[in-house]
Homo-oligomer: A and B are copies of this chain.
Amino acid sequence: MTVAALLDRAKAQGVMIATAESCTGGMVAAALTDIPGSSAVVERGFVTYTNTAKQQMVEVRAETLAAHGAVSEQVAGEMAEGALRNSDAQLTVSVTGIAGPGGSEFKPEGRVCFGLAVEGAPTRTETVDFGALGREKVRQAARDHALELLSQGLFTIA
């Protein structure tokens, strides 16, 4: 589904979207708002680049960060759910990963965790190892995957 089609569908369903981004740093929100008329669908975006921002903006728990690290499905899930609680959106996606160069937290470059939260449904999380494609390509791949997850999320609401 193109981003324009995603926005059309969300608009037709009366669904507002919010994002919570770490490694993509706003790229998902930027892709959504590239489309004219996106203001009917995009509610807000949280760029939670630091751990403090993750805790303050979308209520990621310090214990979760300490136990699993920022790049984990547990944190991705809390980010997506926190974005839902702290916005007027009904559908949220989160992205936290290692864009590189190099790995960190004993995790490989290119590993990205995602969360998808829908009002009234269980939160979905997943990990994709995009590999050491370089920072730019990992970020683009993560952005595109987050947009695909939003499309899938809309179908679960329909």
A94 interfacial contact with B, CB 8 Å: no
Q: Which residue of B lies closest to A42 (CB)?
A: B49
Q: Please give, as numbers and ranges, the residues of chain B lying within 8 Å of A47 by CB-CB distance.
A: 19, 26, 29, 33, 42, 44-47
Among B29, B44, B49, contact of A33 (Cβ-Cβ < 8 Å): B49
Q: Does any Cβ of B come within 8 Å of A144's Cβ?
A: no
Decide: B49 and A46 in contact? CB cutoff 8 A. no
Give how many copies assemble into the complex.
2
Digitize A4-47: 1 where CB-to-B-CB distance is under 8 Å, 0 elsewhere.
00000000000000010101111111101110101100111111
Interface residues on chain A, size class = 35 or more
When distances are taken between beta carbons in the complex, the residues of chain B under 8 Å from A135 are: 34, 36
Pick the residue among B25, B32, B100 that contacts A29 (CB under 8 A): B25
Chain B's nearest CB lies how many Å from the CB of A141?
A: 14
| A62 sits at the interface (CB 8 A) | no
Across the interface, name the chain B residue whose C-beta is closest to A70. Answer: B39
Chain B minimum-CB-distance residue to A21 = B26
A157 at interface, CB cutoff 8 A: no
Which of the residues B26, B53, B139 comes within 8 Å of A26, measured between beta carbons? Answer: B26
Q: CA A123 – CA B34 in complex, angstroms?
A: 29
Cα(A32)–Cα(B57), bound, Å: 19
Q: What residues on B are CB-neighbors of A101 within 8 Å?
A: 36
* Extra pairs beyond A25-B30, A26-B28, A36-B135 (14, CB < 8 Å): A24-B33, A25-B42, A26-B26, A26-B45, A26-B47, A33-B47, A36-B100, A36-B101, A43-B49, A43-B53, A44-B46, A45-B45, A45-B46, A45-B47
